[in-house]
Amino acid sequence: MSAASVTTLPRRIPPTILVVEDNVLTRSAISVELRAHGFKVLEASSAGDAITVLDTMRVDLLFVDIHLPGEQDGLDVARHVHTNGMVTRMILTSGVSDAFSIPDLDDLGPFIRKPYLISRVIGLVSESLGWPDPTKA
């Protein structure tokens, strides 16, 4: 993502992050750590639930697994944000090895492959939001 394409977000304290992950243990672990580092965290287990949240609330950052079961997946959620011009940063994730073959992946946001270190996620979230990285304090 080029610096020219980055929209400056008004600073909200704390930033709101939507974690979209169908695996409850993974979603819970990420959400707990993000909350422990001072972020407001919302959770969704499906693309439909995530889109509902995004359409009703302001979300500063979307952390989404691109491979979700069901009629819609995490890519549909990310494309919904992108297509509707929402001022929401995105971080995409997946454990599936073919994720890098997705044509518009780089246009949607940074990608982090599972399994990932939670400290890496916290750092990437902080960097994406222009927020101090609490793991380096």
Can you identify the CATH homologous superfamily of domain 12-131? Response regulator (3.40.50.2300)
pLDDT of residue 11: 57
Residue 137 confidence (pLDDT): 60
Distance CA 130, CA 21 (A): 24
Sites in the chain below the pLDDT cut of 70: 1-12, 99-100, 105, 134-135, 137
Q: Does the model's pTM come out above 0.85?
A: yes
Q: What is the pLDDT of residue 95?
A: 86
DSSP state of 45: S
pLDDT for the residue 12 = 65
What is the C-alpha separation between 51 and 74, in angstroms, rounded?
Answer: 10
- pLDDT digits over 44-63, tens only? 999 999 999 999 999 999 99
Domain residue extents for the chain: 12-131
Q: How many CA atoms lie within 13 A of 79 on its CB side?
A: 12
31-35, long-range: CB within 8 Å, 24+ apart, which pairs?
33/118, 33/121, 33/122, 34/121, 34/122, 34/125
